[in-house]
Structure 1
Amino acid sequence: MTSRTGRAILGVLAIVTVGAGAGPALAQDGSAEARLRKVEAEVRALQRTVFPGPEGRFFQPEISGSSQGQTTAAMPSTTAVTDILARLDALETQIQSLTAQTENNTNALSQLETRLSALEVTGGTTSGQGGGPTASQDNLSAMTGGASSAQTAQPPAAGPTAARLAAVQEIAKPQTDDAGDDEYSYGFRLWDAGFYPEAQQQLTLFVEKYPDHWRTTYGRNLLGRAYLDAGKPAEAAPWFLKNYQADKQAARAPDSLLYLAEAMIASKDTSRACIALAEFADTYPAIAAGRLSDQYEGNRRKVSCN
């Protein structure tokens, strides 16, 4: 955009040119007029894009032929040069306004894209349960959907405090000839002390590193309990189900099936809780009447099964 001083100089040159010869001056005025009308038309088109009106209509452009006519009528003594300068002033004002509005629109779009990106990341944070069991062919196959249902995204957990780290470090890890049993026993000690997240991490490490160890049935069952005791029944349920399905004769298989019922009760899923309780009574009648009778009857009193 030419500065006002530059336009003034051009104006003086135009006046000199007019004085030198009327024919060339008229030709230059006609050329300038045509260029100005072209620029004004482009500004009006841009104005309609940046300042759209409601329902598909557009605001009237601030630069129009009638306003030019009024300006000319109000200033009958102006020369062609001063009229050009006035119209250039109007064009500069409109372009500045359009530029400002365009910048505002660009900033608003940038903020909207940032918010959408954040929502996509957040929305995406529902997560299934990794490492969960596959469905069996018996009546517990219906458990899979409820036991490993997606969880709403949780905010990032704050890091452990110095006092908690010190307390965890006070729990000694056994050092025996059976490394697998040492890993399980350390997880048990963490769980027994109420350090559930640490126990979950330790027991997960154990069951993944020693899938065939004689303690693995204890490890999967205790891992489920570490989630259940932490108030996360949906994360606990897959471990209980997996431990039962892996080997129904294993030492902690009946315990896991009964805890699976507890996880379903905690999730307010009565139908699946009843399935687990019925399976437990059918598969382990002696244990239901003996070692785990109190826990079994306590769970039955919490739900109404057909």
Structure 2
Amino acid sequence: MAQDNVSESRLRKIEAEIRALQRNVFPGGDGRYFEPQISSEQGAGNQSSPNAPSTTAVTDILARLDAMESQLQRLTALSEENTNSITQMESRLALLEASPAAGASIAETVDTEELPSTETNLSAMTGGSSSLANTVGTQTSAEPEEVGPSDERLAAVQQIAKPQTDDAADDEYSYGFRLWNAGFYPEARQQLSSFVDQYPDHWRVTYGRNLLGRAFLDDGMAEEAARWFLRNYQADRTAPRAPDSLLYLAQAMIAMEDTRRACIALAEFGDTYPAVASGRLLDQYEANRRRITCEG
């Protein structure tokens, strides 16, 4: 009797293992999970293959995930194409803005000795012969004779350290910036003029000319400041500080009480640099516009 019980137990164990093996080898073999031989999609006369594996919730989820991944790939491809198209459009706009016609309404003469004297929109608005170059051309001779700096000033200037890096040109500009930032405008002008003359092709030269104009403007010398702002703007209208110089040119014209040319410079700034006028320099642009009343 004991042996019969052991045999019966072993037989049940073997049958259970065989059933488990059948479920793994023949999925859907259990009667509870048999697929109907006629489905609603197939029709009355079509029977599914008895060996076709049944679909489960997991396989449906995987299929849907595959479809979503395909859609995401298509959306990503479209996004990259759109980004590339926008980049190309921005490049073309930058080239158009950099064309000589973009600044036709600003005076094309910085100094009568450097460029031919031509009538431009900026000079015509003030009465023909009184061009900006002629207006500021006599500033150097009109400046009062400078008196030598005091010992206290010399000591204060010497306290400003000059950078020492691998880029000597950048060091010269940075030293001029430190002098200007400390309020030593004559010393800053001398340093920045030397930088502009020695390194005319350095990437910092647009910063140097613009800051040189500010060193004059902050020191109450608006006419000479206007010369440098105009020169920097005309040198390269796509340079990083070209928008700043055009806007400071308008500010210098306001200081000179030349409302007409200030309005021309402000209008040129808004047309040529709309992104900057509505972004980085928005506050200064609006402040200058509030200071004067322009026609139209």
Q: Structure 1 residues 138 and 287, CA, compared in 2 at 3 Å: closer, same or farther?
A: farther
Alignment of 1:176 onto 2:165: yes
SS at match of 1:224: helix
Report sequence identity in percent: 67
Alignment of 1:167 onto 2:149: no
Match of 1:270 in 2: 259
Cα deviations by residue, 1:161-186 (Å, 9 ceiling, x for unpaired): 00000000010111111000000000
SS at match of 2:257: coil
Q: Distance in 2 between matches of 1:238 and 1:205?
A: 17
Q: Structure 1 residues 250 and 147, CA, compared in 2 at 3 Å: closer, same or farther?
A: farther
Q: Structure 1 residues 249 and 129, CA, compared in 2 at 3 Å: closer, same or farther?
A: closer
Q: Structure 1 residues 227 and 131, CA, compared in 2 at 3 Å: closer, same or farther?
A: farther
Q: Structure 1 residues 177 and 147, CA, compared in 2 at 3 Å: closer, same or farther?
A: farther
Q: Distance in 1 between matches of 2:196 and 2:274?
A: 28
Alignment of 1:187 onto 2:169: no
TM-score of the aligned structures, taking structure 1 as reference length: 0.54
Cα deviations by residue, 1:90-144 (Å, 9 ceiling, x for unpaired): xxxxxxxxxxxxxxxxxxxxxxxxxxxxxxxxxxxxxx97987777886346553
Match of 2:196 in 1: 207
The amino acid across from 1:248 in the alignment is: R
Give the CA deviation at 1:148: 1.8
Q: Distance in 1 between matches of 2:172 and 2:277?
A: 30
Q: Which moved more, 1:148-157 or 1:284-293?
A: 148-157
Q: Structure 1 residues 286 and 186, CA, compared in 2 at 3 Å: closer, same or farther?
A: same
Alignment of 1:228 onto 2:210: no
Counterpart contact for 1:207–1:216, Cα < 8 Å: yes
Q: Distance in 1 between matches of 2:225 and 2:114?
A: 10
Alignment of 1:139 onto 2:139: no
Cα deviations by residue, 1:220-254 (Å, 9 ceiling, x for unpaired): 00000000000000010011001101110100000
Q: Distance in 1 between matches of 2:150 and 2:135?
A: 32
Q: Mapping of 1:48-197 within 5 angstroms?
A: 139-140=121-122, 144-145=132-133, 148-151=136-139, 153-197=142-186
**Quick check: which one's helix share is greater?**
1
Counterpart contact for 1:237–1:264, Cα < 8 Å: yes
Match of 1:244 in 2: 233
Cα deviations by residue, 1:41-73 (Å, 9 ceiling, x for unpaired): xxxxxxxxxxxxxxxxxxxxxxxxxxxxxxxxx
Query: What 5-or-longer segments of structure 1 have no aligned partner?
Result: 1-127
The amino acid across from 1:301 in the alignment is: R
Q: Distance in 1 between matches of 2:264 and 2:111?
A: 21
Q: Distance in 2 between matches of 1:289 and 1:136?
A: 32
Give the total of aligned pairs: 179
Q: Distance in 2 between matches of 1:138 and 1:284?
A: 20
Q: Distance in 2 between matches of 1:130 and 1:157?
A: 26
Give the CA deviation at 1:150: 2.4
SS at match of 2:186: helix
Alignment of 1:300 onto 2:285: no
SS at match of 2:232: helix
Q: Distance in 1 between matches of 2:240 and 2:173?
A: 15
